[in-house]
Amino acid sequence: MIIVMKPKARQESIERIKNLIEENGLQAHISAGHEVTIIGVIGDKARLKEHNLAIYDEVDKIVDVTESYKLANKKFHPEPTIVKVGNVTIGGGTAVIMAGPCAVENRDQLLTTALEIKKYGAHILRGGAYKPRTSPYSFQGLEEEGLSYMKEAREITGLPVVCEVTSLEAIESAVKYVDMLQIGARNMQNFYLLKEAGKTGMPVLLKRGLSATIDEWLNAAEYIIAAGNPNVVLCERGIRTFETATRNTLDISAVPVIREKSHLPIIVDPSHAAGVRAYVKSLSMAAIAAGADGLMIETHPDPSKALSDGPQSLSFDQFEDMMAALKPLVELMGKKM
Ligand code: PEP
Ligand code: MN
């Protein structure tokens, strides 16, 4: 339930309502705008009788929210959230490009990639040091050694860095080295991990689960925000369907749907959606045209030798070509790149 106060409602009225909510064993989340203050009621609203609230004359309206996510809900927080990752802002007027290898393989591979993607205008370096692989025999990541290369790459290029975390130990290490934590598709409903990522207060890139509905995805975001961390960026990366021509099916409609339902920024990862490098450029353009706040693109110095996700990784020439094609489209969408 959301209580919308009348414009310029007095602080004492807001406090009185907050107390009433809390006396009934619920949580009140106050969002104070320039004109209007909105109070979100978190918990079982059956404990609160609407008529008890309606008697306050500075209450404008009481809106029932049927979705179980409140903190991630746009009804509750109409202003778009802007997430700061180092010196980069996601959700503002810039189409933020994150690029880098699927996995950090060695120092040279990562540093070369960082310099190249920066040259072509990327804003954030990605790289996996903990790889959740389908097979236990596939390369699992360099862990802390990989994180140290990420940190070094940031020192050299100035690009903020994002790395996936798959466990509490990974979070504890990653917070010392990176600027943003990524929760991958396979862990989208690892509620323990979501809460721990929430406790760090660091920006979190939350990928959509392989078979997750948008509602489940926003509830996952809710876990992070409810743990005290509002710095969540959503990432659509394709969902599993009957189609086999691509690795996953990019759900481009997730972009406008999220825009309508949530204030959180949303970016698109066409690499994991397509699974095939030839489709990455077109899907990137589609994502920008749909209004995404950015992209995540896998790139590798030699995709044919990549230890993971080579078939979907772009060479630097292909990355340059994609960035050039995106530029006029980003401008057409009224954004910067
Ligand atoms: C990745 O970003 O390399 C990755 C494993 O992505 P996803 O969780 O979307 O599969
Ligand atoms: Mn990958």
What integer is the mean pLDDT of 182-189?
Answer: 98
Same-domain pairing of 312 and 170: yes
Residues 138, 39, single domain; the answer is no
pLDDT at residue 52 is higher than 80: no
- Together in a domain, 217 and 271: yes
Residues 6+ apart with CB under 8 A from 88: 94, 96, 123, 124, 160
Indicate whether 303 pLDDT > 70. Answer: yes
What tens digit of pLDDT does each residue of 263-289 get?
999 999 999 999 999 999 999 999 999
pLDDT at 108: 98
Residue 70, in any domain of the structure: no
Asked if residue 85 lies in contact with residue 179, where contact means CB atoms within 8 angstroms, the answer is: yes
Q: Which ligand is nearest to the CA of 235?
A: 1
> Is pLDDT above 90 for 112?
yes
Q: 95: CA distance to ligand 1 center in Å?
A: 20
Same domain membership, residue 206 and residue 294? yes
Calpha distance 273→245 (Å, rounded): 11
Give pLDDT, residue 322: 98
Model pLDDT for residues 241-257, shown as the tens digit of each residue: 999 999 999 999 999 99
Kindly report the protein residue whose alpha carbon is nearest to atom 4 of ligand 1: 184
Domain with residue 18: its CATH number is 3.30.70.1140
Structure confidence at residue 42 (pLDDT):
86
Are residue 53 and residue 92 in the same domain, yes or no?
Answer: no
Residue nearest to atom 5 of ligand 1 (CA): 184
Of 51-65, 140-154, 183-197, 289-303, least confident by mean pLDDT is 51-65
Task: For residues 155-163, give the mean pLDDT.
Answer: 98
**For residue 19, what are the domain limits?**
2-63
Residue 268 pairs with which residues in a beta bridge? Answer: 236, 295
Domain assignment present for 142: yes
List C-alpha distances in Å: 324 to 39, 121, 251, 337.
Answer: 45, 10, 24, 10
Q: Does position 310 have pLDDT exceeding 70, yes or no?
A: yes
With a 6 Å cutoff on the Cβ, whether 237 touches ligand 1 is yes
Asked if residue 304 lies in contact with residue 313, where contact means CB atoms within 8 angstroms, the answer is no
In a domain, 73, yes or no: no
> What residue owns the CA closest to ligand 1's atom 6?
184
Domain shared by 109 and 186, yes or no = yes
Q: Is residue 11 part of a domain?
A: yes
In a domain, 132, yes or no: yes
Give the pLDDT confidence score for residue 56 in this predicted structure. 78
Whether residues 143 and 242 fall in one domain: yes
Whole-number Å distance, alpha carbon 251 to ligand 2 midpoint, is 18
Whole-number pLDDT of residue 225: 97
Exposure on the CB side of residue 286, measured as CA atoms within 13 A = 17
Q: What is the structure's pLDDT at 1?
A: 85
337 in a structural domain = no
CATH code, domain with 328? 3.20.20.70
Ligand 1 centre and the CA of 131: distance in Å?
8
Task: Indicate whether 194 and 295 sit together in one domain.
Answer: yes
Distances from the Cα of 44 to the Cα of 23, 178, 217, 224, 287, angstroms: 13, 37, 21, 20, 37
pLDDT at 97: 98
Contact 167, 130 (CB under 8 A): yes
Q: Which ligand is nearest to the CA of 269?
A: 1
State the angle between helix axes of 107-119 and 144-157 in degrees (0 to 180), rounded to the nearest 10.
Answer: 30
Could you tell me if 228 and 140 lie in one domain? yes
272 C-alpha vs ligand 2 centroid, how far in Å?
Answer: 6
Is 102 close to ligand 1, i.e. is its CB under 6 Å away? yes
pLDDT classification of 115: cutoffs 50, 70, 90: very high
- 110 and 239 housed in the same domain: yes
What is the per-residue pLDDT for 51? 62
Question: Are 52 and 186 in a shared domain?
Answer: no
Q: Residues with Cβ < 8 Å from 321, sequence gap 6 or more?
A: 281
Mean pLDDT of 77-104: 97
The answer as to whether 276 is a domain residue is yes
| Ligand 1 atom closest to 235 (CA) | 9
Number of domains in the chain: 2
156-170 average pLDDT score: 98
- In this prediction, residues 20-40 reach a mean pLDDT of 90
pLDDT at 236: 99
Please report which ligand is nearest the Cα atom of 311.
Answer: 2
- Distance from residue 272's CA to the centre of ligand 1 (Å): 7
Nearest CA to ligand 1 atom 3: 102
Query: Average pLDDT, stretch 284-302?
Result: 98
Domain for residue 78, yes or no? no
Q: What share of the chain is helix, strand, coil (3-state, %, to 5)?
A: 40, 20, 40
**Residue 111 shares a structural domain with residue 247:** yes
In this prediction, residue 240 has a pLDDT band, given cuts at 50, 70 and 90, of: very high
Q: What is the mean pLDDT of the chain?
A: 95
If you measure from the C-alpha of residue 25 to the centroid of ligand 2, how many angstroms do you get, rounded to a whole number? 44
Per-residue pLDDT tens digits for 211-236:
999 999 999 999 999 999 999 999 99
